[in-house]
Amino acid sequence: MRVVVTATITGTNLIEAWAIAARTTAATLAARGAGLFLLLLILFPSAPLRAAEGLNADRLMRAVVGVSAVVPPDSQSSQTLGSTREGSGIVIDGSGLILTIGYTVMEASEIQVTTLEGKGYPATLVAYDPVSGFGLLRAGMGFESPWLRLGSVAAVEEGDALLALSGGRNRSATAVKLVGKREFAGYWEYLLDEALFTFPPIRAFNGAALVDRNGALVGVGSLLVAQAMEGRGLPGNMFVPISALEPILADLLAYGKRQEPARPWLGVTLREEQGRLLVEKVSPRGPAESAGVRPGDQIVGVGGQRFSGLADFYRKLWGLGPAGVVVPLEVLRGARLEPVTVPSADRVRFLRLNPTL
């Protein structure tokens, strides 16, 4: 298994260290666990050597696995995400519990996790949480792996050097810098009060582990973004902070979902353009389509209120009540303002999370 080791160049000392690393065969380093250890030294040059030595490079690499999923082609998510998907997963306990980003395994009929050695194990979906975006898997019999402990998102700050680890066929270890901790609003009715943004971008981002200088997990890779640093056109990645998992983990393990009322879901894909909120598309057979919302509509009001942007729209929408609440929208079509009433729904009820049943 080849492991690619890369580093963010932030100064002359790192250029020299990177040059040394580049002259060494990545596969040989990976076999000895030395490649990642060198990268840890590059990441944290000011840390005492004994602290860096305390981070077990072999353990870090083995705790990140490849995840592959097969999704029935007639499922809702296969239309946008495809019917075969690959990503990474992070082992977070000794019983084979694996954390990933949920869209990789959502509606999957078959899931497999692959270790550093290339050995595959079947896995089952334990839980999918549309609010955080997390998915939890349980690896099948015979799976053994070290695991990563959960770290403190509050303890990492903008400018910190971190490590991004990907598994599977695109396994890599990349030095990145945290360039933002801020709100993130997604066009698919998704909002994080605080997300983690890193630079430079990594290609194998979905489900990748974001690890702090203590070897603890602080984020799970979700997206490639065009603007990682606010106000600057630098591409990078968005990671879902691990702090979003901790309050719901017990619920996910016990019930397969968080134990609080589901948010109202409309089934729209939105685009924010020059201060306007436009409907890009509607989910087939979803609440918005059934109510007559059409691509090209401009939403200007929700629940009798105006909003200041995508995030504010979501908060006002979700503030109307739980899933099932009737959502009054004001929609601009051409020069005509029209009321559209949408009976909302629970997003999860439209997904086939157990497609083999």
DSSP 148: P
Task: Specify which residues 273 forms β-bridges with.
Answer: 276
Helix (H) or strand (E) holding 164: strand 161-166
Confidence at residue 38, expressed as pLDDT on a 0 to 100 scale = 52
Confidence at residue 9, expressed as pLDDT on a 0 to 100 scale = 29
**What tokens appear for 164 in the block?**
């991004």
Confidence at residue 57, expressed as pLDDT on a 0 to 100 scale = 84
**Beta-strand pair 236-241/217-225:** antiparallel
> What pTM value is reported for the model?
0.86
Could you list the pLDDT tens digit for every one of the 357 residues in the chain?
444 444 432 333 333 333 333 333 233 334 434 455 455 545 555 443 334 445 788 899 999 999 999 999 988 898 889 999 999 999 999 999 999 999 999 999 999 999 999 999 999 999 999 999 999 999 999 999 999 999 999 999 999 999 999 999 999 999 999 999 999 999 999 999 999 999 999 999 999 999 999 999 999 999 999 999 988 888 999 999 999 999 999 999 999 999 999 999 999 999 998 889 999 999 999 999 999 999 999 999 999 999 999 999 999 999 999 999 999 999 999 899 999 999 999 999 999 887 644
CA pair distance 306, 330, nearest whole angstrom: 9
**What tokens appear for 194 in the block?**
């605080």
SS (H, E, C) 211-279: ECCCCCEEEEEEEEECCCCCCCCCCEEEEEEHHHCCCCHHHHHHHCCCCCCCCCECCEEEEEECCEEEE
CA pair distance 181, 183, nearest whole angstrom: 7
Task: Give yes or no for a cis peptide into 261 (omega within 30° of 0).
Answer: no
CA pair distance 127, 278, nearest whole angstrom: 32
Closest of 139, 128, 181, 191 to residue 158, by C-alpha = 181
Closest of 125, 185, 196, 188 to residue 156, by C-alpha = 196
Please, what's the b/e burial string for 183-221 (b: 16 or more CB within 10 A of its CB; e: otherwise)? ebbbebbbbbeebbbbbbbbebbbbbbbbbbebbbbbbb
CA pair distance 351, 329, nearest whole angstrom: 24
Type of residue numbered 203: R
In this structure, the number of other CB atoms found within 10 A of the CB of residue 176 comes to: 28
